[in-house]
Amino acid sequence: MLDRQLHVVRTYRPRDALVSRAGWSDAGHLLVATATLAGHGATPTWSLVSVPVDAGDEGDGGDAVVEQGPVPGRDPELLPEFLLSE
């Protein structure tokens, strides 16, 4: 997350996955679409995670809540499985 001066104030790094998309859920939470990178021939899995804005500075998502998933999906480098609106 960035502040009004565009300085990084928080980060979120999911365990064993990458962030595909992120958007605001409400004033206190971000919705983050995450995906695993599958090996050759394996199917990636996707999750939709709610991350509190005031989560710890570690950025590891310890307070994050999985709202949907994990579900099998397509390659995260090509298409998002969860579309977030602003």
Reported as a single tens digit per residue, the pLDDT across 73-84 is 988 888 888 888
| Cα–Cα dist 37/34, whole Å | 10
Reported as a single tens digit per residue, the pLDDT across 31-47 is 999 998 776 678 889 99
Instruction: Please compute, for residue 3, the number of CA atoms within 13 A of its CA located in the half-sphere on the CB side.
Output: 5
Contact 74, 81 (CB under 8 A): yes
| Cα–Cα dist 75/86, whole Å | 23
Give me 28's structure tokens.
Answer: 């206190």
Q: What is the pTM of this model?
A: 0.79
